[in-house]
Chains A and B, each alone.
Chain A
Amino acid sequence: MRQSVLTRVIIFGIASFAAVIYLVPTFVRPLPDWWTSFLPAEKIHLGLDLQGGSHLVLEVKVDKAVESNIERVRGDLTNVLREKGVVGASVERVEGSVIQVKVPSAGVERVRGILKGDFGNLAEAKTPQSSPAGMDFFMTLSKEELRSVRDYAIDQSLETIRNRVDQFGVSEPIIQRQGLTNILIQLPGIQDPQRAKDIIGKTALLEFKLVDDAANLEEAVKSGPPPGREVLYGHGGRGEGAGTERQPYVLESRALMTGEYIQDARVRPSEQLSGPSVELILNNAGGRLFEQITSANVKRRLAIVLDNRVYSAPVIQERIGGGRASITGNFDIKEARDLSIVLRAGALPAPVEIAEERTVGPSLGQDSINQGLTSFIVGATFVVLFMIAYYKGAGLVAVVALLFNVFYMIALLAGLQAVLTLPGIAGIVLTVGMAVDANVLINERIREELRGGRAVRSAIEAGYKNALPAILDSNITTFLSGVILFQFGTGPIKGFAVTLCIGILTTVMTAVYLSRVYYDYRIGARKLERISI
């Protein structure tokens, strides 16, 4: 008996030593260098609800990516049919992601061959229908192609958003895929959540399009643009409401160039006549393309369109070499800087929408920590006083076990790198209230055995032994519901589930095994004839 007490004391000693090591980084700052070189240096991670910050879930509109992909395929198909000399065929997009190919009877077999041979990424949306003129094919992206387009859209969005957040400068952001089409973003300690959202959520599709000055602007606005043209509006600048008039433009729908050729984007400060601008530095291919475009369209107006807003539409005075272009517009220096960030990081392959946002300011987080601490201290004091009043000596043993319990629990939180949230603190408080259940079960049992006439020593042994099944069962059931909660919950709630489950482990460890060490020591040391319980 003596021997095993010693072994257990050593085991708990080692556990406590490890716990201290894991807790030091949280409570001692700064850490000495020799510590960080080989000992854990991570503090307990606070959830966004305690340290302040933004939690965002973005939904990537993958259907839009699919649509624009289909649109591109439609263009390719039109070209291929023309090149291969299929006469009188028309290719149109219907119902979102279906292409309808109308072919006169003469070309049906050739088109069938082309579709099969050159467009393996397409599948039949429905069986071809014969029409008076010939045959209508209905094609859409094949299943594999569809999946890869969707996956690409999400992966590319993740990558782009990661770039933007990096440039935005947030420490320890979390950016990850969530579910099929969502992206989870956590930005701790962010000061201006609106700006972050603007930067992250901007599609940033940059296009260069020619202005059609020959078109009748008024008529195009009123009754729709002529074929191959579109009406887009000017960028109103920040702060202007939707009510203000925006300048309409009639543009050629085809984009001559897009933002994919951008190598770098820089803010140029205001000059005398104009506000700040963003200078684009194009890569080599982009530079050549831009030179070609400008030389072919001298004296015409080239509109610079970002997310379907015309920022400016300067007249091309001469061929522009050197791969530089600049966007001017009605914006201030802050907006110019944000614009340069999104242009540098690249466009999102599909628009994104905010599906969930939870932003907590830093002062609220601190308040929550204080409230959590206060309720912990008050709640724990109640429990301690009650246990000692009710069980006297045995109550004191239970209280010491409880203190170790909380100590191990917080150390485990730090060691496992779990995130502590406000509900998580509530979980710790609750654990304090529930943990004594094990000691209550044991002590009640010991009292019963004593009443039944057993000697102190065997009463203690029987008490622990007989109470154990009930203790284990009740902790397992609580643990199970904690696991379900962890599966279900988001952010803060997960934090609660984690502390609940960790608390159960440490409760069994301390209330059952640690408290027993004391009694076994007493039993071993001398004949234990009376027990305060």
Chain B
Amino acid sequence: MSHITSSVRTPLVTGGKTYADVTEDISRQVEGKPTREWTIAFTISVIVLLYGTACVFWTWWEGLGVWGLNKTVGWAWDITNFVWWVGIGHAGTLISAILLLFRQKWRTAVNRSAEAMTIFAVLCAASFILMHMGRPWLAYWALPLPNTFGSLWVNFKSPLVWDVFAISTYFTVSLVFWYMGLLPDLATIRDRARNKVSRYIYGALSLGWNGSAKTWARYEYMSLILAGLSTPLVLSVHTIVSMDFATSVVPGWHTTIFPPYFVAGAIFSGFAMVQNLVLIIRVVFKLEDYITLEHIESMNKVITLTGSIVGVAYLTEFFIAWYSGVEFESYAFINRATGPYWWAYLTMMTCNVVSPQLFWVRSIRRSVVWTFVIAVVVNIGMWFERFVIIVTSLHRDYLPSSWAMFHPTLFDISDYLFSFGFFFTLFLLFAKFLPVVNMSEVKAIIKSSSEKLPQSVSGVSKGERVTAPTFNKDAE
């Protein structure tokens, strides 16, 4: 497109790709036979999923007593996993919506897979809601249905009901946004299809997209509005998740800092997960020219920023606990850091506050191996953050005689494993049968961001297309 790109920017798509190259490189893995690596990874995911499903059904059959919960700690891994997965989802929306509004063109290479991650992560999160209900067949009680179904309407003043609305809206809007983004690429695959079956399937999925100028104009307009809607939506979702805790009177939960702190943490862990997925996709599908070190570096910068916000939030909580003069509040935080769960607290602090600071070193944030390792560390840290918030605030309540510890059982672990099986099964299916990079958006940025122009360019001189400062490949 005729955007002006500063000459100090390095190209987003390397290797001198043409439009046809983009189509070929991305469509190849959709059209070809599954690779060996994919088949192995898929088999493992399905086995984990089947094992996990059996354990989840056993949890429902036998009751929540199979978890390590007790009278004092009534929420533990279930809600930890729920918040963790919802948080991971946030990066996809940030990349697809907020970075669209900020006109960050590098998002085009990663937005498709990040949005897919969002949708699957939200599904995983929702599965923990169903699990911790214990009686999932009554899940519809959370919906605003007339009181002939039960005794009353739902309590609209409860943050848990807000959550029902927030998560389901978030899931629906993300799914629609993602699917609309897929339409042009599905049409590309439909028109390339060599056999009838895939032409029929991708034809139906592409909804008869023909790429006319009128459709494209409306499509761009719609994408912009959807991005505008998704931006406050994603912020609202984790704000409401944090209110599940913040509106209670439990020391350690009852803090006004929670919404911004949870949103920053969500984006932090989400970007870490995007890094993990994208680094694998990049190697397996040979997409190094599309997902370049620039992309990885940009995402690492977001990780450092949000990780630092989370770090400031941890310290602020401590300061406020002391400054408030509330004895219970102070104790909750001292107990977090020095009580029996000190190791969880230390893991959280090291993984979330210290590790992302390594990205200040340019060679580390541009290193694939370092990025992958730190991203895993961040995800572990963010899981522990939720564990620390939930369990350490509950396990020593106002009544010392009821103080208790939480010990996970096999079913706590297996139900968590279920979500991994579920997530990776869906993600691998996505990676095989749908284009992992948004072809039409990459094509749109290729001219202003590619190393060199497609050779087919004719008729229009460079000077006519872009005014100074022009793109030039000698920038670096």
- Do A and B assemble together? no
Binding site for B on A (CB under 8 A): none
